[in-house]
Amino acid sequence: MKYAPGSIEEKWQKIWEDEDAFATAQDAPKDSAKNTSANAGDGSKPNFYCLEMFPYPSGNIHMGHVRNYSIGDVLARFKRMQGFDVLHPMGWDAFGLPAENAAIKNNIHPAKWTYSNMAAMKKQLQRLGYSYDWKVEIATCHPEYYRWEQLFFLHFYEKGLAYRKKAAQNWCPKCNTVLANEQVIEGLCWRCDSQVQQKDLTQWFMRITDYAEELLADLDKLGAGWPERVVTMQRNWLGKSVGAEIEFKLAQGEGGKNKEEGSIKVFTTRQDTVFGATFMSVSCEHPLLDQMIAGRSQEAEVRAFVEELRIAAAAGAVGAETDEKKGVFTGAYCKNAFTGELMPIYVANFVLAGYGTGAVMGVPAHDQRDFDFARKYKLPIRVVVQPDGEALNPDSMEQAYDGPGRMVNSGLYNDSKNEEAKVRIADWLEDNKLGKRTVNWKLRDWNISRQRYWGAPIPIVYCEKCGVVPEKPENLPVVLPLDVQTLPDGRSPLPEDPNFYRCTCPKCGGEARRETDTMDTFVDSSWYFARFACAREKDRPFDPEALKKWLPVDQYIGGVEHAILHLLYSRFFVKALRDFGYMQLDEPFANLLTQGMVLMGGAKMSKSKGNVVSPTEMIEKYGADTVRLFCLFAAPPERDFDWTESGIDGAYRFVQRVWRLAADLIGKLPPALACSVDPAAVSSEAARETIYREHAAVKKAGDDINNRFQFNTAIAATMEMVNHLYLVKDELSDSEEGRKTLASSMATLLCMLAPFTPHMSEELWQALGFAGRATHQPWPVYSDKAMQRSIITVVVQVNGKLRGKLEVAADTPAAELEKAALAEPNIKRHLEGLSVKKVLHVPGKLINVIAS
RNA sequence: GCCCGAGUGGUGGAAUAGGUAGACACAAGGGACUUAAAAUCCCUCGGCUGGAAACGGCUGUGCCGGUUCGAUUCCGGCCUCGGGCACCA
């Protein structure tokens, strides 16, 4: 019986499909509720939602997909064997730019390109034997999907959570569209690495900042189920700073001829250092700037400086910490209400217009950047916080001091701790209406407008009479027209397609123009996991009962590159949908596994580097089972691993080794179930040892899969079992009890391998004459009794060093054991000339003789 | 600069609760089978070292120190690599 993976795999994929082997009970029972306990006790089947990040239909799956989906599939299959009702769906993140680029390049319609890619990739996924319930497949480019997204947009709009704003936006010249802040990585476009520019545009925003506090607070809830670094990355991205806003009134400076009106507000986390504020710096976009410099001798110089910064920003030369701190005096002053002193106002290149108030009070003694700036422009430095046991001298300081200490030069706050002063000064600001406590976030609202064609239309209409008018829910979906020609320069055809943009105003019925921007595709992927729970729902986006049953996702698996983008947007969406009344859920993903990359020669696989391994070729050569097995055996899932030819060869060898082992036993074994032989019922040592190893392997593999996602060691456990079975199979084949033992072990082995190499397991399960399907077997149950060995090895140490081993009966009394340990020749030798102080005994493990 | 994570054989990696370091593989070497090769099956495999052998000794988990009968594991300090954030006031 030769191992021919191709035909076996095809055979079983067909059978699984015919038998609808991976169907989920989509009609949730009426009183369903999230129930993830394997022993619910009430007879209902516990449920488990296993989800892998759905792919963009580029046309071909790559090894990263194979790894991602193999991890998910092992878990889904394992959970089914454990008795869970498992939802394991797959779909397509089908809108997006590559479809348009391909359209331009190959002169094919984006829709056609996308749909044929989806079909091709679906075949590839099926070829890998993944246990998806394809009946709930979804594609975000389908109007039946995005109609609900458009409905959600109307809710966002109605609640003021979607709004239009003109502002400087991140613009990618290559993609011809704006980008959200999250999509700009170190000043470059996340997709094409082009230098991002700034452009003034009117765009639609989602008010994600309204949820900042909750997004931050709920990170704590995720703690146990999410990798710490993802939580940290989100926390940093939200960027909460607690401090105060302080108002500084403009004041008459020397020879001031200008009328000084208004005030400059700053945000600071260090209001305790306000007595040390000796100058003010503002961004070049500060609203009071024009007024401050108008007619002053400094005007020309300031304008030149501002222009210089603007050119740099437009070219994408975004400021970095390493850039030289530069500024120009405006000629204007403001007054520090605490010291009564005048503070010169500078325009400075390091002040961000978009953070805080666009103005910063300069406290040179206690902020490094202000310190550098003050030294450069000869501005006064005043120490107001003294660290314990050290006296800072403003003239000799070499760097700012930003640690804790006692207040000095700060009027009535002197001598108090700076943390106390922080509170009292905040109180004072509020009492005297010169400021207030406030919180600042790094998080910005989410720009979701894209000047692209292949996306979900934003359901908004512009009417000359009524202004911005939301589409009526009953008019949804606003269908993206498919009968358009993509434009060669990448611009969207929608603004030039009257059939699309011409419409009637939902309010007054007059002629109006449709919004021609489409939604960021990250909107599409921010709620797909919920739709999977009730994908066939026709008249509403969700069936609340189904959501209650399946959400949150019990295990979400995907690449860490989505740590901020997708995972943050999805969390926001769930909270918003909850507030719209669609779900009772705070967080979408209870547990998150971020899998590592598949590398080749230490580098990420990429076409340009020429180090790509095609999954299709590998499957042809070795079969899907081997490819799956290797992806999981090479390393633990979170870690990157290197693809090696010899590595997959090894996996292939193992698969064949199992095959030969079973082939040799076909027709010789009685039908059996996993773990079905009582060790007390066998007489031979070989049989007992085999049963012992069988149960130990089940325990280890189950633990490794369930609690640790350590698939590599779970596989290692099956390998050890196979190695052992090779050694004993001839001996055991000779007796009735031996054949029973072998049959039980083989059943156990095939069950344990079923999540990893499902086709081979099915085929051998059938060939050995076992009943039913390997896929539908319960996960084997080990018994502690079967794992009790009668002879155990006890390690003997002298002063913590291994000096000998004792093979003894497991029930040897402790005193006798210790005696035997001391009598062991090598131990005796090491104790020569020493006196025994103590004998430490860890039962069943070791004896440590402490002597000196 | 700040915040995470990781450093273990020739290689990928094990050691789950402080208790036999190197499971399981890959590579390498040897043997059996074969006319031969491949495949397969079996054995060896951290370094140094004693012994004919059986079996021992020393050393060893990035570096230095600490706690402990005992440390890859805990604590303190450092080094290197990887990742994230980065003019955030």
Complex ipTM value = 0.94
Q: What's residue A262's pLDDT?
A: 87
Q: What is the DSSP string of A751-797?
A: HHHTTTSHHHHHHHHHHTT-SS-GGGSPPP---TGGG--SEEEEEEE
For A198-221, the DSSP string reads EEEEEEEEE-GGGGHHHHHHTHHH
C1'-nearest nucleotide to the CA of A320: B87
Q: Residue A321: what pLDDT?
A: 58
A6 Cβ within 7 A of any nucleic strand B atom:
no
Give the CA A705 to C1' B89 distance in Å. Answer: 48
Residue range A670-713, pLDDT digits in tens: 999 999 999 889 999 899 999 999 999 999 999 999 988 999 99
Tokens read off for A845: 């493990």
Residue A52 neighbours by CB under 8 Å, 6+ apart: A68, A69, A71, A72, A90, A556, A557, A558
Return all residues near A197 (Cβ < 8 A) that are at least 6 apart.
A170, A171, A172, A173, A314, A315, A316
Instruction: Round and report the angstrom distance from CA (A818) to C1' (B63).
Output: 39
736-765 of chain A touching strand B, CB 7 A cut-off: none
A844 CB less than 7 Å from any atom of strand B: no
From residues 135-174 of A, list those within 7 angstroms of strand B by Cβ.
Answer: none
Kindly determine whether the C-beta of residue A229 is less than 7 Å away from any atom of nucleic acid strand B: yes
> pLDDT at position A310, please?
79
Rounded distance in angstroms from the CA atom of residue A300 to the C1' atom of nucleotide B8 = 65
**pLDDT given at position A223:** 73
Edge-to-edge order in the sheet of strand A791-798: A801-809, A791-798, A846-851, A836-842
Report the pLDDT value the prediction gives residue A726, as an integer from 0 to 100. Answer: 92
Looking at residue A244, its pLDDT comes to 93
**Cβ A134 vs Cβ A532: under 8 Å:** no
Within 7 Å: CB of A367 and strand B? Answer: yes
Q: Report pLDDT digits (tens) over A454-499.
A: 999 999 999 999 999 999 999 999 999 999 988 878 889 999 999 9
Pick out chain A residues at pLDDT < 70: 25-44, 254-259, 313-323
The tokens for A61 are 């799956």
Q: What is the pLDDT of residue A473?
A: 96
Strand B: positions under 7 A of a protein C-beta atom: 3-5, 12-16, 19-21, 23-27, 39-42, 55-58, 69-71, 83-89
Residue A300: phi, psi to the nearest 5?
-60, -45
What is the per-residue DSSP string for A621-678? HH-HHHHHHHHHHSS-TTS-EE--HHHHHHHHHHHHHHHHHHHHHTTTS----TT---
State which residues between 482 and 521 of chain A bring their CB within 7 Å of strand B: none
pLDDT of A258 reads 57
Alpha-helix residue ranges (DSSP H) falling in A45-142: 63-81, 97-106, 110-127
The DSSP string of A354-410 is: TSTTSEEEE-GGG-HHHHHHHHHTT------EEPTT----TTT--S---S--EE-SS
**Torsion angle (degrees, nearest 10) of CA A415, A420, A424, A429:** 110
DSSP reduced 3-state for A528: helix
Residue A852 CA, nucleotide B66 C1', distance (Å):
22
Instruction: Please tell me whether any atom of strand B lies within 7 Å of the Cβ of A231.
Output: no
Q: What is the pTM of this model?
A: 0.92
Q: Does the CB of A459 sit below 7 A from strand B?
A: no
**Nearest protein residue to B24's C1' (by CA)?**
A716
Judged by C1' against the alpha carbon of A723, the nearest nucleotide is B24
**Which residues, including other chains, have CB under 8 Å from residue A646's CB and lie 6 or more apart?**
none
- Residues A571, A580: Cα–Cα separation, whole Å: 14
A369 is near strand B: CB distance < 7 Å: yes
Is any atom of nucleic acid chain B found less than 7 Å from the CB of residue A350? Answer: yes
Dist. CA A86–CA A36, nearest whole Å: 10
The answer to whether strand B lies under 7 Å from the CB of residue A700 is yes
For residue A28, what pLDDT is reported?
46
> In 3-state terms, what secondary structure has residue A31?
coil
* Res A317: pLDDT: 54
Alpha helices in A87-201 (DSSP H): 97-106, 110-127, 143-158
